[in-house]
Structure 1
Amino acid sequence: MLPTCLNWLLKFMKAACLDFSPPDTGKGKSKVSGSNCKLAHGFHLVEGQSGHSMEDYHVAEYRKRGGHVLGLFAIFDGHLGDRVPSYLKDNLFNNILEQPNFWDYPELAIKNAYRSTDDLILENTRQFGPGGSTAVTAIVIDGKDLWIANVGDSRAVVCERGAANQITVDHEPHSERRRIEKKGGFVTTLPGDVPRVNGQLAVARAFGDQNLKAHLSSEPDIRHVPIDSTIEFVILASDGLWKVMKNQEAVDLVKSIKDPQAAAKRLTMEALARKSKDDISCIVIRFG
């Protein structure tokens, strides 16, 4: 009996020392009625080694609305807590789809929803705390149109005929220094560190962050990508992946993996192997 107990204890201590949440992983698919376009996705999220609990959240689901099939995908990378990304997970897509002009002017609807969602977060700082979140969101309409929006440095990369095409903008402080300084803020570039807004935040746009909001923006960059036979898949990922991997490296790593869940896991595991310490979140969306 004693060896069995010792064996159990050793396993318990080993798990306790790791002190990580288990990966969040899964997949799904949707075949658009009356279309040859099949949509499939997979996701894999792993808690980092940065000394705080998991602050990344994701959305990967399908909805039917107004006679259309929507694929909704997002990654929210929180900082200073998980209240803001958790709220975005539950509410941002609802806020976008409830915009009265969504079907006629999706770009305007997305921009308005981002702004109104951020306004609500800022008006309820006592509930949400001082933290914030980046976001990258993807809406696929009837398997034909892809609308991508982002604030911060979570990124979307399209594989088109085997080539990587980044369709989001990394909102880094050094690239928006003039706007930040015009609003009374400053950007630090200390040796051994990344540029930061007021010496604190390593992104120039985000949801929340009440204390820095006078110098930050929540306005998203938005891109429309028509889906045709040249578009193979899209990678959405937090900066835990992109800090250690170039766009084309990521595409080359998974372009032969047809199962999008296996592809998302492969990217995440490679980022870990490259010593990424941050939370790592990845969604792969395959077309055709």
Structure 2
Amino acid sequence: MLSKSGDHHSVPLSVLLKRELANEKTERPELLHGQASQSKKGEDFTFVKTECQRVLGDGVTTYSVFALFDGHNGSAAAIYAKENLLNNVLSAIPPDLNSDEWILALPRAMVAGFVKTDKEFQEKAKTSGTTVTFVIIEGWVLTVASVGDSRAVLESAEGGIYYLSADHRLDCSEDERERITSCGGEVGRLNAGGGTEIGPLRCWPGGLCLSRSIGDMDVGEFIVSVPYVKQVKLSSNGGRLIISSDGVWDALSAETAFECSRGMAADAAASHIVKEAVQVKGLRDDTTCIVVDIQPPEKPEPLKPPPKKQGKGVFKSIFGKRSSESSSQVDKEEYCEPDVVEELFEEGSASLSERLDSKYPICNMFKLFACAVCQVEIKSGEGTSIHAGTVDSRKLRPWDGPLLCLSCHAKKEAMEGKRPSGAARYHSDSD
């Protein structure tokens, strides 16, 4: 376990036993949410769906979804993603999974759902695009997938701040800039003439300042829809989640957003955060905020101000090693729980092959005779393995998968820079 200062500590057996007993009695959290928006272009959209039943008729196996879509060059991509992304994610999850297996399957299902949504929208030949920050909360586990620059930030009840999404602005990531140029794109600022460059770094052709999005078929296939995914588990003390478009984050830091809304109910907090952002920067862009309070069921009132702490939160890795040297130190003094949120999964690679691999993050969580992205049935001779070449579906073995249909394979090759941008766009298998 990592403390706030980054030191390694062993956890005494008495504490582990106490935790185990507490976990047996842990109830599912209560989710209180609110949202607010001020519109400039009319391209921000939200999606909120609570108490979804994973097993029809079973009120215990529920999850909730909170998503924000910040469109650009029109609202078509944002609206399409809002209407289709959840179903595309769920369709990539095999049936008959228990709760733990379902949570383990979510990261890869989100990748498949994002890519399928992008592929199907681009088949409509519309040129708009959208950022997406998509959150599924199941019990105390939060799974967040994101493309673009709409961020999700969590504050635990103990006061630590955790960033659950990635910022895919080209200004923010050298790796993304290198990926785009290696795939045939160009990265640079707008040329104002006379050798003067202005504004943020952009991808050319198209001039988009993001490296990942859904849509944007006119920009080039090196702008990919493969999301950054992070999955964490909160302690039963809960916390507050803020999901906002760049209209908020360009004006307020995460610390300021949490501080200015401290002690407010979720709906009032969302409204106040938007108001503060507009006061700082003016209404230059659509400005949207979703606030979700994740609370023990016996504490329905707004979160109390946590004790002041220095620095940001530190994730506890379930694979972390403890040093025996630090163990003896802990035994000599009273053990205090550090402020931690358990990190279950994190991956930001733009490679679809890596993200859909059958061993990543869990084996055999795919449908043997279906495309891992669009879920269409693989016909004889038309299945392409992530690991190898064409595979005859009559001779499929479990270790051959996951498979891609021909059009999804073409999309994967384009996103990974293995065929020229703009060549033979994937409209359907029959084209």
- Common fold: TM-score over 0.5: yes
Match of 1:137 among 125, 129, 134: 134
* d(CA) in 1 for partners of 2:220, 2:30: 41
Identical aligned pairs, as a percentage?
31
Is the CA contact (8 Å cut-off) linking 1:163 and 1:251 kept in structure 2?
Answer: no
Is the CA contact (8 Å cut-off) linking 2:144 and 2:164 kept in structure 1?
Answer: yes
Matches within 5 A, 1:11-160: 35-48=27-40, 53-62=41-50, 63-66=52-55, 67=58, 68-101=61-94, 103=102, 104-125=104-125, 129-141=126-138, 143-160=139-156
* d(CA) in 2 for partners of 1:36, 1:231: 10
Deviation at 1:36, TM superposition (A): 5.0
1:180 paired with 2:180, answer yes
Question: 1:124 is aligned with what amino acid?
Answer: K
Q: From the two aligned structures, give the one with the greater helix fraction.
A: 1
Question: 1:241 is aligned with what amino acid?
Answer: V
* d(CA) in 1 for partners of 2:260, 2:237: 18
* d(CA) in 1 for partners of 2:69, 2:262: 24
Question: 2:246 is aligned with what amino acid?
Answer: D
- Please list the CA deviations of residues 132-172 of structure 1 after superposition, one character each: whole Å capped at 9, or x if unmatched: 0000000011x321110100001000002223221111011
Is the CA contact (8 Å cut-off) linking 2:29 and 2:236 kept in structure 1?
Answer: no
Is the CA contact (8 Å cut-off) linking 2:28 and 2:140 kept in structure 1?
Answer: no
Matches within 5 A, 1:181-200: 181-190=181-190, 191-198=197-204, 200=207
Question: 2:83 is aligned with what amino acid?
Answer: D
Kindly tell me the number of residue pairs found equivalent between the two proteins.
246
Is the CA contact (8 Å cut-off) linking 1:154 and 1:170 kept in structure 2?
Answer: yes
Matches within 5 A, 1:226-265: 226-257=233-264, 259-265=265-271
SS of aligned partner of 2:225: coil
* d(CA) in 2 for partners of 1:214, 1:184: 10
The normalised TM-score by structure 1 is: 0.81
* d(CA) in 2 for partners of 1:36, 1:109: 23
Is the CA contact (8 Å cut-off) linking 2:201 and 2:209 kept in structure 1?
Answer: yes
**Runs of 4+ displaced beyond 4 Å:** none
* d(CA) in 2 for partners of 1:133, 1:83: 9
Is the CA contact (8 Å cut-off) linking 1:57 and 1:75 kept in structure 2?
Answer: yes
* d(CA) in 2 for partners of 1:79, 1:208: 10
Matching residue of 1:164: 161
Deviation at 1:194, TM superposition (A): 1.3
Larger CA Rg, structure 1 vs 2: 2
- Please list the CA deviations of residues 108-128 of structure 1 after superposition, one character each: whole Å capped at 9, or x if unmatched: 111111111111111121xxx
Deviation at 1:192, TM superposition (A): 4.1
The normalised TM-score by structure 2 is: 0.55
Q: From the two aligned structures, give the one with the greater strand fraction.
A: 1
Unaligned runs of 5+ in 1: 1-33
* d(CA) in 1 for partners of 2:62, 2:262: 26
Q: Name which of structure 1's ranges 226-235 and 130-139 shifts more when overlaid on structure 2.
A: 226-235
* d(CA) in 2 for partners of 1:36, 1:226: 12
